[in-house]
Structure 1
Amino acid sequence: MEPILISFLIPLAVVFVVYRQMQTRPTERRGILYTAAAMIVIGIASGGVVDSRHLVLSLCLALVEAVIAVALGVWRATTVRVWLDDSGVSWSRATGWTMLVWLVSVAVRVGLYFAGAALGLELSTSGVLLFVGLTIGAQSYVAARRGRALSSTVRRPDTVVG
């Protein structure tokens, strides 16, 4: 995929995802996980995540970026409000803290980009796509798990015991 097109699509995708997170939505949504997986696959398939001239250094940076992306996604998921409605369906909605951690995520990603540039690595937009896919996927997965955990702790009246 063309770097200019990726550079245009990534901010649009992030803005769309953040906008959707600010809406009240069921926690069980597989569509966002598929979107995150597609971003990861496209990021890797586009090439440029690893600089072949500095293989070990760029692999280390890519690994650090992946770990940080997942950690930031998990952190954001803990800031999302999750609750059950009267019928036992779990819902979620991002909070102001979620927005703050999104800003931290963007700042960290920019910092990693400049760190790679300072180390002399040839950088590509596909690394950003990989980072965004990992962080969105981690956040969505953890928020959904929180919703499932919450709904499993509530005993429904229609449950037969014994």
Structure 2
Amino acid sequence: MTALSNVLIAVAVIVLVVGRQLRARRLDTERRFWLLPLILAAVALRDPVLIDPAHKGAAALILAGSLVTTVGMGCAWGWTMRLWRDQEGQLWTQGSVATVFAWVGAIVIRIGWYGVGTALHVHQSTSVLMLSLGLLLLVRSAAVSWRARRLDDHKHTLAA
């Protein structure tokens, strides 16, 4: 895939996901939250220059640091989501203003990693963006799912 198509896919996914997250919606704990991240990762990992061959060590460190901070941002984003149960006991979720700030923070950090790479003359493929986005979505969904299970565990504890 070309760099432009990777960026366009990433922007489309971000717009779709953020738009959905800011609306209240029923949380489906049975859905395959890992599917879209897996697709994004598969597309990214097909890139033969995911790590700059001219600067392998620096590129690998930047990629690793980028993915570690992405995990942190995914956790932060997952914790900004509001969870509640309606009168029928259905689980609902909705993003908040903090969710928007988490997204802005993730974008700023992503730009920062590109800046580090540029300063070190390391070429960073747009596939790194796709991989990071997939990881961000996976971690966020895992955090929300974990919180939802904890909410259920807490409910069962209170009922006992």
Structure 1 length normalisation: TM-score? 0.90
| 8 A contact 1:81–1:93 mirrored in 2 | yes
* 1:13 pairs with 2:24: no
| 8 A contact 2:59–2:124 mirrored in 1 | no
What SS class does the counterpart of residue 121 from structure 2 fall into? Answer: coil
Aligned to 1:143: 144
Q: How far apart in 2 are the matches of 1:88 and 1:151?
A: 10
Aligned to 1:61: 62
Q: How far apart in 1 are the matches of 2:26 and 2:65?
A: 32
What letter corresponds to residue 17 of structure 1 in structure 2? V
How many residue pairs were aligned? 158
Identity %: 23
* 1:153 pairs with 2:157: no
What letter corresponds to residue 136 of structure 1 in structure 2? L
Structure 1: stretches of 5+ with no match in the other structure: none
What SS class does the counterpart of residue 88 from structure 1 fall into? Answer: coil
- Residue 86 of structure 1: CA displacement? 2.9
What letter corresponds to residue 89 of structure 2 in structure 1? G
What letter corresponds to residue 4 of structure 1 in structure 2? L
Of residues 75-84 and 29-38 in structure 1, the stretch that sits farther from structure 2 once superposed is 29-38
- Residue 49 of structure 1: CA displacement? 2.0
What SS class does the counterpart of residue 84 from structure 2 fall into? Answer: strand
Q: How far apart in 1 are the matches of 2:30 and 2:114?
A: 31
Of residues 19-28 and 76-85 in structure 1, the stretch that sits farther from structure 2 once superposed is 19-28
Aligned to 1:52: 53
Aligned to 2:25: 25
- Residue 47 of structure 1: CA displacement? 3.1
Structure 2: stretches of 5+ with no match in the other structure: none
Q: How far apart in 2 are the matches of 1:150 and 1:43?
A: 34
- Residue 110 of structure 1: CA displacement? 0.7
Structure 2 length normalisation: TM-score? 0.91
Q: Which aligned pairs between 1:102-141 and structure 2 lie closer than 5 A? A: 102-141=103-142
What letter corresponds to residue 2 of structure 1 in structure 2? T
Cα RMSD, aligned residues only: 1.8
